Amino acid sequence: MEHRVADLSLAPSGRGKIEWAHREMKVLSLLERRYRESRPFQGITVAACLHLEAKTACLLLALKELGAVVAAAGSNPLSTQDDVCAALAEGGVHVYSRHGMTGKEYTENLRFVVDHHPTVLIDDGCDLVALLHAEYRQLLPSILGGSEETTTGVKRLRAMADEGCLAFPMIAVNDAYSKYLFDNRYGTGQSVMDGIMRTTNLLVAGKTFVVVGYGWCGKGVARRASGLGARVVVVEVDPHRALEAHMDGYRVMDMAGAAAVGDFFVTVTGNRDVIRGDHFPFMKDGAVLANAGHFDVEISIPDLRAQAETVRRDKANIETFEMKDGRRLHLLAEGRLVNLAAGDGHPVEIMDLSFASQLLAALHVKEGNLPKGLHPLPESLDREVALLALEAWGLKLERLTVGQERYMKEWRE
Ligand code: ADE
């Protein structure tokens, strides 16, 4: 099968979105220009499991332009944009996804991608890599390696590497400076607030905004919520991060305490059941619950359902759970990534950096010299992305003088 999309006639709308994004993906464009002649991905089949929206489409089309055969599945049923998929299919990418696909379709789509016998992988959440290891072991030797986009995916890859079962090299793009300092912090910060605000149309100023998890994504969300005038409460299990949140000016509480005071709740932990049956009974009438972690397990929806008298949907992406005592709790985007399921994901310039790193990681992997296991993005490539972004955005870097270079290596002076 060449593609499996909802409706090919949506392609013009998808193309428009892709063109809009591409205009501001200046780092990716620089790389496209650099490699257009040499087509370094000739002979390579790239399999991707990514959020299929316009910025991702720019990466996939760039890989195709540089010589690759590209097969892609959506990494989340609600982040797939059908018009973008239609445009990708028309643009020659083998794309398998549909907005709102069932769990069964999700796995089938990954299988269609695997049927292309990939040599290089780009994963977001590690589902593609996990499926290959679980059910396609005969294909593992022909895979040169791949790269992973997100914190949760890297966590899963680390578990595989620790068990000694990761059969090829994977680059943790998420852990590169040019990724997490910008994408996880500023990307998540802006896109999560955008998703919540465009969905609810509610005021943030003056409200209590609970951020559960103070990693780079949580820091970004807390900062943007605070900037919009919210009182921010941070819930964190790590003592250093909890102290950091305290000194960043936020109130630090445990989840039981935060449950009773929050107007908005956002989970960004990468763990499961962080807001659960223990907490719902103490929440205020009208509380809004959203998740920004990779999987829809951070808010226990089974517990929420079990405690609710009725569930209704008043507005797209909002389910209202009316509790037995009459309180209403509002869950956004079915507990899936609110920024992608109820928005368009991270801003264009942010994904430009992340996907430039992905392209350079794919080039590095396709050279084929890496041992199996989990690897960082090489420092030289990480630095190159930042340098290209400075160049693309017209920002000048200061340079060390010869005397300063010498001084930095000196211990006698
Ligand atoms: N757009 C495409 N991939 C994304 C991601 N991993 N996070 C946010 N926005 C995205």
For residue 150, the ligand 1 atom closest to its alpha carbon is 6
Tokens of 373: 């296991």
- C-alpha to C-alpha distance for 120 and 351, rounded to whole angstroms: 20
124 lines ligand 1 (CB under 6 A): yes
**Centre of ligand 1 from the C-alpha of residue 127, in Å:** 15
Cα separation, 109 vs 111, whole angstroms? 5
Q: 152: Cβ below 6 Å to ligand 1?
A: no
H-type alpha helices, 328-401: 338-341, 348-366, 379-392
How do residues 19-47 score in pLDDT, each as one tens digit?
999 999 999 999 999 999 999 999 999 99
Confidence (pLDDT) at 262: 98
Of 133, 77, 71, 132, give the one whose Cα is nearest residue 105.
77
Reading the chain (413 residues) residue by residue, the pLDDT tens digits are 699 999 999 999 999 999 999 999 999 999 999 999 999 999 999 999 999 999 999 999 999 999 999 999 999 999 999 999 999 999 999 999 999 999 999 999 999 999 999 999 999 999 999 999 999 999 999 999 999 999 999 999 999 999 999 999 999 999 999 999 999 999 999 999 999 999 999 999 999 999 999 999 999 999 999 999 999 999 999 999 999 999 999 999 999 999 999 999 999 999 999 999 999 999 999 999 999 999 999 999 999 999 999 999 989 999 999 999 999 999 999 999 999 999 999 999 999 999 999 999 999 999 988 999 999 999 999 999 999 999 999 999 999 999 999 999 999 97
Atom number of ligand 1 nearest to Cα 56: 2
Q: Tell me the percentage of the chain whose pLDDT exceeds 70.
A: 100
Residue 17 CB less than 6 A away from ligand 1: no
Q: Are 221 and 248 in contact (CB under 8 A)?
A: no
List, as own/partner pairs, every contact residues 158-166 make where C-beta atoms lie below 8 angstroms and the sequence separation is at least 24, other chains included. 158/374, 160/129, 160/130, 160/133, 160/374, 161/373, 161/374, 165/133, 166/129, 166/133, 166/372, 166/373, 166/374
- Report the CATH number of the 8-179+346-392 domain: 3.40.50.1480
- The encoded tokens of residue 271 equal 């763990």
Please tell me the residue having the least CA distance from ligand 1 atom 3: 51
How do the residues of the chain divide into helix, strand and coil, expressed in percent and rounded to 5? 50, 20, 35
Identify which of 354, 355, 358, 359 to mutate to test ligand 1's pocket (most ligand atoms within 8 A of the CB). Answer: 354
Atom of ligand 1 nearest to the CA of 346: 9
> In angstroms, what CA-CA distances link 155 with 11, 122, 145, 272?
36, 16, 17, 13
- pLDDT of 221 reads 98
Do 186-341 and 8-179+346-392 fall under one CATH topology?
yes
Tell me which of 25, 50, 126 to substitute to probe ligand 1's pocket, judged by most ligand atoms within 8 Å of the beta carbon.
50
* Cβ of 344 less than 6 Å from ligand 1: no
pLDDT at 368: 80
Q: Which of 49, 51, 217 to mutate to test the pocket of ligand 1 (most atoms within 8 A of CB)?
A: 51
**Looking at domain 186-341, what is its CATH homologous superfamily?**
NAD(P)-binding Rossmann-like Domain (3.40.50.720)
**Model confidence pLDDT, tens digit, residues 51-93:** 999 999 999 999 999 999 999 999 999 999 999 999 999 999 9
Cα–Cα separations (whole angstroms), residue 297 to 267, 273, 290, 303, 304 = 10, 6, 11, 11, 12
Q: Is the CB of 294 under 6 A from ligand 1?
A: no
Per DSSP, 275 falls in state: B
The atom of ligand 1 lying closest to the CA of 50 is 3
Separation of 323 CA from ligand 1 center, angstroms?
A: 34
This prediction's pTM: 0.96
Q: How far apart are CA 324 and CA 69, in angstroms?
A: 54
What are the residue ranges spanned by the domains of the chain?
Answer: 8-179+346-392, 186-341
Rounded CA gap, 268 and 220, in Å? 10
pLDDT tens profile 181-203 = 999 999 999 999 999 999 999 99
DSSP string, 111-137: HHHHTT--SEEEESSSHHHHHHHHH-G
Residues with Cβ < 8 Å from 64, sequence gap 6 or more? 70, 91, 92, 93
**Ligand 1 touching residue 213 (CB < 6 A):** no
75 Cβ inside 6 Å of ligand 1: no
